[in-house]
Structure formats: structure tokens, C-alpha cells
């Protein structure tokens, strides 16, 4: 009885030493393509940045909670104004005033949070030229010191405005005008604290604004 033909064995495929190419047939975690960042593969955004102290984290949570309430008032106020366009009987001048004042307060209250996470507007003219040098660290220290001084000066002005504008009331809702500057005082004091916190860590990566952090 003649022997049955024997099929030649397929040579085992191995991964090239450079990390590319396909692995073994049962190796499902390898790819013939190069590395591609994905939602699960990208390193954590602020992994190398210094962690904020507990006090600043609680201040940031409080600022975000207030900001969410103010944003809701802005949204509701604007929508109520739209309703008043189609239903004149429902029109109320206070809706527009509440939305306007809330928008101003929202801008002030988020100052410290944005300053602490580079979410404010900056001009990075020399950052690329000095990156990786001691001059870059010095630049960050000088920038943080200037930001502290500016925030303290604006905090002082906010205190003055609170005292001088509290007696004045808004036209529709009779809200003291000085109340708006309370939000400014909180925001600028927070901005000074966040800027001061950056000074000892000028040689470390700065914390970046992460939208996921805004979920309170």
C-alpha cells in the first residue's frame, strides 16, 4: 500500500526583532502595522505634572460647581428670552439680566481653575526656543510671579468695587452690583494661589486643561 503524501509543515512565523510584522497565528495582540495611539494607549494627560494639594483641589471643585449653576442660569435665561419672542405674555426683562450677570460671574469664577491648568490665553513666544534649558525654567518662574502679582492687584480692585458698588442695584432683579465682584474676588485669589503653586515646580510639566476633570 503506497504511503500517503505528507504535506510540508508551514514554517512558524515569528515576530521580527524590530517589533514590526505579524506574530504567531494565535498571537492576537500583535499587528503588522506600527504603533498607533488610541483612547486606551495614550498616556495619561497630566501624568508627569505635580498633583495639586488637597486645598486647591477642593477650591477647584467648588469653582466648577458654582460655574455649572451659573451656566445653567445663562442657558435658562436665554431660552426664556427666546420663548418671550413667540409668547409676548411670558416675556420678562429679568431673564436677560440674569443671563447677562451670570455670564459675567461665570467668567470671573473660572479664572483660578483656568490659570492652574493653562486654560487661559497665553503668548508662548519663547517657549519653543528655550524648551529644555534652564532659561525656560526661569521664564516659567518669572511668568508665574507676574501672574501672582496681577491676580493680587485685581483681587484688591475687586474688594474696592464690592464696597463701592454694593449700594447700586440692577434694574430688573434689584441685585446689588457689588455681588458680581464677589465672584471676581474668588476667581482672582484662586488664580494667585494656583500661580504661586507653579513656582516650586517650574522644572516639571505644567498641568493641562482636561475636560474630563470638569465632571463634578
Confidence of residue 88 (pLDDT cuts 50, 70, 90): confident
Handedness of CA 63, 67, 69, 70 (dihedral sign): positive
Q: What share of the chain is helix, strand, coil (3-state, %, to 5)?
A: 55, 0, 40
197 located within any domain: yes
Q: Does residue 34 belong to any structural domain of this protein? A: no
In a domain, 25, yes or no: no
* Helices 93-109 and 178-198, axial angle in degrees (round to 10): 20
User: How many folded domains does the chain comprise?
Assistant: 1
The boundaries of the domain holding residue 114 are: 54-214
Assigned domain for 44 exists: no
Q: Kindly report, residue by residue over 106-160, the tens digit of the pLDDT.
A: 999 999 999 888 776 666 676 666 777 778 788 888 989 999 999 999 999 999 9
**pLDDT confidence of residue 45:** 61
The span from the CA of 122 to the CA of 216, in Å, is 26
Specify if 81 maps to a domain: yes
**27 belongs to a structural domain:** no
60 inside domain: yes
DSSP 46: T
pLDDT in tens, 196-212: 998 888 777 777 766 55
Instruction: Establish if 59 belongs to a structural domain.
Output: yes
Q: How many helices (H) and strands (E) in the chain?
A: 6, 0
DSSP-assigned letter for residue 208:
P
pLDDT for residue 39: 46
Amino acid at each position: 500500500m503506497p504511503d500517503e503524501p505528507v504535506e510540508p509543515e508551514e514554517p512558524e512565523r515569528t515576530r521580527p526583532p524590530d517589533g514590526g510584522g505579524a506574530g504567531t497565528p494565535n498571537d492576537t495582540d500583535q499587528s503588522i502595522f506600527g504603533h498607533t495611539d488610541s483612547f486606551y494607549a495614550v498616556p495619561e494627560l497630566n501624568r508627569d505634572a505635580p498633583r495639586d494639594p488637597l486645598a486647591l483641589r477642593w477650591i477647584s471643585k467648588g469653582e466648577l460647581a458654582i460655574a455649572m449653576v451659573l451656566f445653567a442660569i445663562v442657558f435658562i435665561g436665554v431660552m426664556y428670552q427666546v420663548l418671550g419672542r413667540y409668547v409676548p405674555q411670558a416675556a420678562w426683562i429679568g431673564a436677560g439680566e440674569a443671563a447677562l450677570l451670570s455670564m459675567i460671574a461665570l467668567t470671573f469664577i473660572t479664572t483660578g481653575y483656568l490659570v492652574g491648568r493653562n486654560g487661559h490665553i497665553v503668548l508662548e513666544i519663547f517657549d519653543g526656543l528655550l524648551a529644555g534649558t534652564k532659561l525656560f525654567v526661569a521664564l516659567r518662574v518669572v511668568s508665574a510671579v507676574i501672574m501672582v502679582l496681577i491676580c493680587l492687584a485685581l483681587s484688591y480692585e475687586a474688594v474696592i468695587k464690592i464696597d463701592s458698588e454694593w449700594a447700586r442695584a440692577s434694574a430688573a432683579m434689584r441685585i446689588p452690583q457689588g455681588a458680581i465682584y464677589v465672584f471676581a474676588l474668588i476667581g482672582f485669589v484662586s488664580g494667585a494661589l494656583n500661580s504661586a503653586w507653579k513656582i516650586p515646580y517650574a522644572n516639571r510639566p505644567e498641568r493641562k486643561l482636561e475636560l474630563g476633570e470638569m465632571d463634578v
